[in-house]
Structure 1
Amino acid sequence: MPQHLNMTALLVDEYDTALSFFVGKLGFEVREDTALGDGKRWVVVAPHGATSALLLARAVNDRQRDAIGDQSGGRVFLFLETDDFARGHLTYTQRGIRFVEEPRSEPYGIVAVFEDLYGNRWDLIEPVACKG
């Protein structure tokens, strides 16, 4: 039985604030934004052409609110793959994305860590397989 990860839930404070970042700064597309009643929405974003997506899940209690920005205990949480690291890094830097380290070459590719609007850490990575 073939399987794949379809979505990852990401805790956010407010839907529209999160959409401004993921669509406006990272350039993701909105795949779905459906009202579910009582202020709850099913909001899905993804990079253009990606098969996986993020479900932006608004925190509704203290435990969830405390986890916003720290869903992985300070480690890199999500990995955004690109076919052109230099272009992506420049674009994101110009859009105000905060990189917490300089780009570096690793055996698996070129990578740098950035933070989303909540402080979750992401890798922007161009895997070795993407290079020529």
Structure 2
Amino acid sequence: MKIINMKKFIAHVALVVEDYDDAIKFYTEKLNFILLQDIVLSESKRWVIVAPEGAKECSLLLAKAASEEQKKSIGNQTGGRVFLFLYTDDFWRDYQNMLGIGINFVRPPVEENYGTVAVFEDLYGNLWDLLQMKNK
């Protein structure tokens, strides 16, 4: 039997949020993401997709917590580790812009052998790397 290799990719990463509209506002106004979809599925559930402008495959699915157990995960989906990695083509431009609009950086910029990185938190406290890779 021949196995056919199909192209695969991660399409969405679910991010548990407290409120759809607050999350949309943060990601579109603070991080300049694009709102790709906002579809009402029921009285309490929406299909909300945001992504950085120009993103080709992976985006965030903003998922409103629907239970007490899910609410416990808001802001701590990875147990305190960095959760998501936002790549940039100009670290210092984006870092200064983010500082100027009140994004909280919990670790200052450092030059690593792979690039420049700083850690910030989103509106719920999830940790993100802002990262510009070195050209090879």
SS at match of 1:86: helix
1:13 aligned residue: 18
TM-score for both structures, normalised by structure 1: 0.96
The higher radius of gyration belongs to: 2
Within the alignment, does 1:80 sit opposite 2:86 as a pair?
yes
Deviation at 1:39, TM superposition (A): 2.3
TM-score for both structures, normalised by structure 2: 0.93
2:96 aligned residue: 90
Q: Which runs of 4+ in 1 moved over 3 A?
A: none
Mapping of 1:111-126 within 5 angstroms?
111-126=117-132
Query: Of Structure 1 and Structure 2, which has the larger fraction of its residues in helix?
Result: 1
1:99 aligned residue: 105
SS at match of 1:103: strand
Deviation at 1:100, TM superposition (A): 0.5
2:29 aligned residue: 24
Q: Kindly, what percent of the aligned residue pairs are identical?
A: 51
Match of 2:9 among 4, 26, 34: 4
CA distance in 1, matches of 2:71, 2:44: 16
SS at match of 1:102: strand
CA distance in 1, matches of 2:130, 2:50: 17
Aligned length: 130
> What runs of 5+ residues in structure 1 fail to find an aligned partner?
none
